[in-house]
Amino acid sequence: MIHPTTEQPADIVARLRATFRSGRTKPVEWRTTQLRRLREMLTTHGDDIAQALYADLGKSSTEAFRTEIDFTVREIDHTLDHLSEWLRPESAPVPAHLGDDATAWTQYDPLGVVLVIAPWNYPVQLLLTPLLGALASGNAVVVKPSELAPAASSAMARLLPQYLDTDAVALVEGAVPETTALLAEHFDHIFYTGNGVVGRIVMRAAAEHLTPVTLELGGKSPVFVDRDTDLSAVAARLARGKFLNAGQTCVAPDYVLTDPTTARALESELARAVEDLFGTEPQHSPEYGRIVNERHFDRLSALLASGRTVTGGAGDRAEKYLAPTVLADVAPGSPVMQEEIFGPILPIVTVPGLDDAIDFINDRDKPLALYVFTDSATTRERLAAETSSGGLGLGLPLAHLTVSDLPFGGVGESGMGSYHGRYSIETFSHRKAVLSKPLA
Ligand code: NAD
């Protein structure tokens, strides 16, 4: 793994392409060796990685292991368990006009050299999960961690070359200039996680080379809470999902939609749930994270005036601490409802009923996730059928992305393409159609 100051993007890509052309990355043994080494890196250096995540985001060790390190290890194990089965060619029926002796099948071909661009909020998981999917598919890979999580970025730059085949995996650290230079190169797939503005830049650059892209973006993920639901249980699950990583999670519940009576009752339950999680002084809770930088702290602080504070509202800029906050009486036109919050503020917006909630969701960009709390099967079915979102969580936020056999990805403004488990193989391979007919 060579640092960009000594090796230019064009040279890195040429070097990795030569490795790919040599055929080295294709055998399943090479792929599984890389995955095992990555696993060894995570288990051996888990504490170092957790420390880096604490330095960047005030992430507690428990959270770092649960949502980044162990998460990635589980994904590796799942892939190792199933890779041969996933890669098996699939036969297809042959039409009669081709004769009895013809056979047809599909097989997965690796794409070549893949670029993975990662964000800062889960800087390890969101770098390594696409990487392991690309390696399992037999590709050479360039990874670009986010410059906004510098400790995690340098930990990855230090550790990955000690474990992975450096002729097939390169890490480039850097910000916009370095990423722009990388994007000028010809890759066979670009996998980008981050915001939609940069997603458009990535897609434009990819179009120059007709390179396919996966865009894992974000947006406002709504929560619908039905009347007559167990609000104490709803609040406990919502607070856990929302305030994980101080709300800086792409699939975090962004806002709550409910009727005015339920909203009133939910307010106090949410305040209690926050206290159960982080005590009366969340600033001193070892389990509560920090905002990534001052720019985001200031952006979030400006949103606090968008409603009546139910709980939280306090901040400490020097520590980049923003209290877990619930806002009530929030108008749809208020600043907090204009863009993805990506921080520890949960607004409650009221609607008269289910039809209005469905309209509210459909009037806006398709979200990365929709969460629904209701005891009614009809309500669940209506929301599933009448709205579109990357994923749907019934009764539990965030957890769908921990199911390796589910595709994780967005739709519309929340992204395109998906990954995890076998869907990573779909993303990082070409499914080649093969027809075979003997001459005699
Ligand atoms: P970020 O600022 O770290 O940017 C992401 C990557 O893009 C970084 O590697 C960065 O260097 C690169 N980048 C930034 N500007 C660039 C430019 N002009 N040209 C080329 N590359 C550039 O992260 P972010 O975008 O602030 O991340 C937050 C967003 O990501 C949120 O919208 C969130 O919902 C979304 N997100 C989505 C997922 C998902 O899996 N769908 C996961 C995490 C975050």
- Which amino acid does the sequence have at 277? L
pLDDT digits (tens, 9 = 90+) for 20-30: 999 999 999 99
pLDDT of 320 strictly over 60: yes
Is 216 marked active-site? yes
Is residue 409, in this structure, part of any structural domain at all?
A: no
Number of the ligand 1 atom closest to the C-alpha atom of 119: 3
Our measurement of the distance from residue 95's CA atom to the centroid of its chain's CA atoms, rounded to an integer in Å, reads 42
Report the distance separating Cα 409 and Cα 366, nearest Å. 12
Return the pLDDT at 6.
Answer: 72
Q: How far apart are the CA of 192 and the centre of ligand 1, in A?
A: 8
Taking alpha carbons only, the member of 185, 193, 171, 177 closest to residue 17 is 185
Are 326 and 232 members of one domain? yes
pLDDT bucket at 164, cuts 50 / 70 / 90: very high
pLDDT digits (tens, 9 = 90+) for 106-122: 999 999 999 999 999 99
Taking alpha carbons only, the member of 111, 159, 131 closest to residue 34 is 131
Are 77 and 61 members of one domain? yes
- CB 148 near ligand 1, within 6 Å: yes
Taking alpha carbons only, the member of 367, 406, 371 closest to residue 390 is 367
Q: What average pLDDT does the segment 382-390 reach?
A: 98
**CA angle centred on 336, ends 401 and 418, rounded to 5°:** 25
Return the pLDDT at 189.
Answer: 99
Are 174 and 255 members of one domain? no
The three-state secondary structure class of 113 is strand
CATH number assigned to the domain comprising residue 342: 3.40.309.10
Enumerate the β-bridge partners of residue 433.
Answer: 106
Rounded to whole angstroms, what are the CA distances from 211 to 158, 202, 208, 437?
Answer: 29, 10, 8, 32
Return the pLDDT at 4.
Answer: 45
- CB 413 near ligand 1, within 6 Å: no
Which residue in the block uniquely carries the two structure tokens 């892939």? 79
φ, ψ dihedrals at 336, nearest 5° = -65, -20
* Residue-range definition of the domain harbouring residue 320: 222-402
- CB 289 near ligand 1, within 6 Å: no
Q: Which two tokens stand for residue 312?
A: 């939280």
Taking alpha carbons only, the member of 239, 242, 245 closest to residue 63 is 245
Pairing of strands 321-322, 315-316: antiparallel
pLDDT of 5 strictly over 90: no
Pick from 120, 214, 292 the residue to mutate for probing ligand 1's pocket: most ligand atoms within 8 Å of its CB: 120
Are 261 and 168 members of one domain? no
Task: Please identify which of the residues 68, 75, 173, 250 carries the catalytic annotation.
Answer: 250
Report the distance separating Cα 110 and Cα 431, nearest Å. 9
End-to-end alpha carbon distance in the chain = 51
pLDDT of 440 strictly over 90: no
- CB 180 near ligand 1, within 6 Å: yes
Report the distance separating Cα 279 and Cα 277, nearest Å. 6
Are 160 and 261 members of one domain? no
Is residue 2, in this structure, part of any structural domain at all?
A: no
Is residue 3, in this structure, part of any structural domain at all?
A: no
Provide the domain count of the chain: 2
List CB contacts of 287: < 8 A, sequence separation 6 or more. 60, 62, 63, 277, 278
Is residue 408, in this structure, part of any structural domain at all?
A: no
Positive or negative, the CA dihedral 314, 317, 318, 321 is positive
pLDDT digits (tens, 9 = 90+) for 214-229: 999 999 999 999 999 9
Are 156 and 293 members of one domain? no
pLDDT of 74 strictly over 50: yes
Are 203 and 300 members of one domain? no
Are 197 and 266 members of one domain? no
What is the pTM (predicted TM-score) of this model? 0.97
Q: What does the CA dihedral 93, 94, 100, 104 come to, rounded to 10 degrees? A: -90
Are 205 and 102 members of one domain? yes
- CB 342 near ligand 1, within 6 Å: yes
Are 272 and 152 members of one domain? no
Are 97 and 115 members of one domain? yes
pLDDT above 70 covers a percentage of the chain that reads 99
Running DSSP on this structure, what letter comes out for residue 167?
A: T
Are 356 and 420 members of one domain? no
pLDDT bucket at 2, cuts 50 / 70 / 90: very low
